[in-house]
Amino acid sequence: MRLKDKIALVTGAAGGIGSVTVKRFAEEGATVILSDINEEGCMRALKEIEDRGGKGSVILADVTKENEIISMFSQVKKDYGRLDILANIAGGDFENQVAVDEISYEKMSYNIDANLKSCILCCREAAKIMMEQQYGKIINMSSLVYRGSPMQFTYSAAKGGVFAFTRSMALTLGMYNITVNALAPALIEVDIIKNTIGPEMWEALSFITGQIIEISGGGGL
C-alpha cells in the first residue's frame, strides 16, 4: 500500500491509460479523484474501484477550458483539503496523419489546448495547493513523439512543450518537496492501438530497452 492515505487526481480518467492509472493508484491505497468529460467512463471505473474496496470520487471537467480546471482544483481543495498526486493524462492527437501543408489552425489549436495548455494549467493549480503543504508528486503525459514525428506535427509540438515545461516545473518546485516528471511512451496497450497494428506485432514489441535513465535530482549535474 505505497499510496496509503494519499489523495490523487487523474485527468483523462475514463480513457485507456487513465482508467488503469486510477485503478492502480486505488490498489496502492490512494483515494482517487477521477476527472474527464466522459461521465459514464468515470463512473464505470469508480465502480470497479469501489467494488474492490477502494475509495474515490468523480469531478467532471473539460481541461481545454481554464474555468473548469480552476473549478476542479477548488473542488478538490474543498472536498479533501489537500492534493498529494496529480497525473495529467487527458489529451490525444486530434490532427493525426495530416501533411505539413494541410495543418489546420483549428485542429492545431485544439491539440495545443488539450495536450499542452491543459497540462500547464493543471500544474499551475496543483502547485498552489502543493507549495502550501510542502509536498506533492506531479506526473505529466508526454509522448515519444516529443522528439518529432512525420504526420504528427502539432501533436509533437504540444508534447515537446510538455517535456520542456515539466523540466521547468521540476527545477522550480524541488525546493517545496514537489517532484515533477513526465512519461514519454510510444505505443500503449489500448484497444485502438492494438487493433491497428495487430496482435502478432504487439506481442513482438519490447518497450523498455536501450534507455538511459538519469538519476540526477533533475539538474543533470
Is residue 192 very low, low, confident or very high in pLDDT (cuts 50, 70, 90)? Answer: very low
Nearest partner of 181 among 192, 189, 169, judged by Cα = 169
194-205 pLDDT, tens digit each: 454 456 644 554
From the list 110, 146, 155, 176, the catalytic residue is 155
As a CATH number, domain 7-188 is 3.40.50.720
Nearest partner of 138 among 165, 178, 167, 177, judged by Cα = 178
Query: Chain-wide mean pLDDT for the chain?
Result: 88
Is 176 among the residues known to form the active site? no
Is residue 124 very low, low, confident or very high in pLDDT (cuts 50, 70, 90)? Answer: very high
pTM: 0.86
47-95 pLDDT, tens digit each: 999 999 999 999 999 999 999 999 999 999 999 999 999 999 999 888 8
CA distance 172 to 136: 13
Q: What is the pLDDT of residue 211?
A: 65
Instruction: End-to-end CA distance of the chain: give it in Å, rounded.
Output: 33
> Domain map of the chain by residue range?
7-188
